[in-house]
Structure 1
Amino acid sequence: MPSRWYELEIDHCSFPDHLLYDQDGNIWVKAEEGGEVTIGMTTLLSAIAGKITSARLRPVGSRIERGRSLGTLESLKFVGPIPSPLSGIVAAANSDVVKRPKLLNDAPYIEGWIAKLKPLDLKAERVFLSRAMDAAETLKNRIAEFHVRCFKAFPDHEMYEIGTECSAVLVRLSELLATASVGDVVHLVTDDPTSYVEMVRWTDQTGHELVDWRQEGSLFHFIVRKEH
């Protein structure tokens, strides 16, 4: 993402401020030259939905009313419509997210855009959209309501290892990565107080990447990417 874009970060979730957002903070809108708009999902909706496994989009030429569906998303814990923040005619649908649905999680503001729309009544419907700074309180409340956690990379796998010594946890992590694909990301949660030191040592030894980590109370969250 170009560095000239200011990115508002709320509880580790990013919201670029050059975009506009719907009232729930789920969908973003970007005005393009020529009058079209690009539409996509936010890191907030990405985290709520979980790892997207399927995306079906309305075809080019479809007329969509504001609030009606631009398509459908599916994950292991979520099936639902993509509500259009504006009324318009679908000018383009992103076939890449149909082929690789996790783009919606990995790059929701860039390659993971959903559709381009020719707005029918942008002037009247602009009132339903806000800049990130103006919607900051709403976004913060939504993140808290849904207990959202955003990380620098979206996980493909989850490991919850509470009450287990870190040495045993790292053995299990190695076993999981042995069957995972290169580039897969694991979210590991542990309560071992030595875990950060041990994780840094383990990543140095194995060559896998520690992408992100944080401590929340007694729990440590690690985001690890398989590198080979």
Structure 2
Amino acid sequence: MGTVRGCNIPEDLYYNVENNVWARKEDDGTVTIGMTAFAAALAGDLVAYTPKKEGKSIKKDKSAATVESGKWVGPVKSPVAGDVTATNDQVANDPSLVNRDPYGDGWLAKLDPADWDGESGDLVTGQDALDAFEKKMDADGFDGC
């Protein structure tokens, strides 16, 4: 597990650093997506989660869900295109689960990816992700999680 400024950044996930989202390719071919610990720290305690409906097609860099905290409402942009196959009922019942466990139980959607092999090349992983988040946090003046 990598850490940047106190924020966990698992090195085995794929990240769209600009949008603060992650993706994990599952054994069944689906892709699980969610917010990074950095995004959750920026947003504050989440109080609402409104995912796109199952079966909905989502384009890359378009909203897969909307989340709300006491200080922010905004989209969680999908790092890849695909059709929504599942949303997270646990997060619907307790949105702050994203703050506590963004890479585990706090996932936001599962997709059947349209072109994982093509689009995942635009995402960063491993040490490249850690370096990219350090640079983004520095540019954003972010002190840490």
TM bracket (short chain): over 0.9
The 3-state SS of whatever aligns with 1:137 is helix
Matching residue of 1:129: 123
**Structure 1 segments unaligned to the other structure (5+ residues):** 1-6, 151-228
Q: Name the structure, 1 or 2, with higher relative contact order (CA <8 Å, separation 6+).
A: 2
Deviation at 1:76, TM superposition (A): 1.2
Q: Find 1:70's aligned residue among 47, 64, 83.
A: 64
Partner residue, 2:73: 79
Check whether the contact 2:64–2:78 (CA below 8 A) recurs between aligned residues: yes
Please report the TM-score for the alignment, with normalisation by the length of structure 1.
0.61
Q: CA contact under 8 A between 1:19 and 1:30: conserved in structure 2?
A: yes
Q: What does 1:86-125 correspond to in 2, within 5 Å?
A: 86-125=80-119
How many residue pairs get matched?
Answer: 144
Q: Which amino acid aligns with 2:37?
A: T
Per-residue Cα deviation, 1:86-130 (whole angstroms, up to 9, x for no partner) = 000001000111110000101101110111100011111112111
- Contact 1:25–1:44 (CA under 8 A) maintained in structure 2: no
> Which ranges of structure 2 fall in alignment gaps of 5 or more residues?
none
What amino acid does structure 2 have at the position aligned with 1:137?
Answer: D
Contact 2:97–2:105 (8 Å) recurs in 1: yes
Q: Displacement of 1:74 after TM fit?
A: 0.6
Distance 1:149 1:23, change over 3 A: closer
CA distance in 1, matches of 2:101, 2:34: 10
Q: Are 2:142 and 1:147 equivalent residues in the alignment? A: yes
Compare 136-145 and 46-55 and name the one that shifted more.
136-145
Contact 1:48 1:146 in 2 (8 A): no
How many angstroms does 1:84 deviate by?
Answer: 0.5
Determine which structure has more spread, i.e. the larger CA radius of gyration.
1
Q: Say whether the 8 Å CA contact 2:47–2:69 is kept in structure 1.
A: yes
Instruction: Quote the offset at 1:47 in angstroms.
Output: 0.7
Q: For residue 135 of structure 1, give the secondary structure of its aligned residue in structure 2.
A: helix
Q: Name the CA distance, whole Å, in 1 between partners of 2:39 and 2:141.
A: 10
Aligned mates of 1:124, 1:14 — CA distance in 2: 27
Shift of 1:148: 4.1
Alignment identity in percent? 35
User: Could you state the TM-score of these two structures normalised by the residue count of structure 2?
Assistant: 0.94
Query: Does 1:55 pair with 2:86?
Result: no
5 Å-filtered alignment, 1:117-196, equals 117-144=111-138, 145-150=140-145
